[in-house]
Amino acid sequence: MTTPSTIAYIGLGSNLSEPIEQVKNAIKAIENITRSTVISVSSLYLSKPMGPQDQDDYINAVLCLETSLSAIELLDALQTIENEFGRVRKENRWGARILDLDIILFGNQVINSERLIIPHYGMTEREFVLIPLAEISPLLQLPNGQKITFLSQKISANSMIKLS
């Protein structure tokens, strides 16, 4: 029997050490995750930091991945990539980071475990998640039925700039 595949959405963020290159290289690394295929990638966006303002602006993007991994297996793969890019976990929760890879959605699954909260707990308040998500998947609905078009139109773009 083949493992059923799931459509997952991953948020990418960086504000250190040439963040555009970090995000582009992270996309390449995600393309190499086993049992997974990148379906689409949003534009890159320049966004103001959420949280402490004494840090550089971020580069953010969202991509769509078809995967036959479980959510935890995908999390392991993403954390391996973060570590390869020199990310130090738990150092400064709201501070600057080389690379942040978050599972935003994993099919219609709702997960509340110690390691994983899906849908991502902050997604509905984050323009740098909602706007790229609506760009690549305008018909998307959250597991609770909320439409991405509704959420992304409601949020302030907060002077976010679309780069490419």
Beta pairing class for 58-67 and 45-47: antiparallel
Chain-centre distance for alpha carbon 138: 16
| Options 64, 78, 100, 131; binder of ligand ROI; rule CB under 6 A | 100
Could you say which residues in the range 3-22 bind ligand ROI, by CB under 6 A?
13
Work out whether 60 is an interface residue with ligand ROI (CB under 6 A): yes
Which DSSP symbol is given to 17?
Answer: S
Task: Check binding of 45 to ligand ROI (CB under 6 A).
Answer: no
Provide, rounded to whole angstroms, the least separation between the CB of residue 45 and ligand ROI. 9
Which one of 49, 117, 143, 147 is in contact with ligand ROI (CB under 6 A)?
49
DSSP structure class, residue 99: -
Q: Of 32-40, 44-52, 83-91, 149-157, which part binds ligand ROI (CB under 6 A)? A: 44-52
Residue choice 37, 66, 80, 94 for contact with ligand ROI (CB under 6 A)? 94
Tell me the H-state helices in the chain. Answer: 19-31, 71-84, 127-136, 148-154
User: Residue 137 corresponds to which tokens in the numbers above?
Assistant: 């998947």
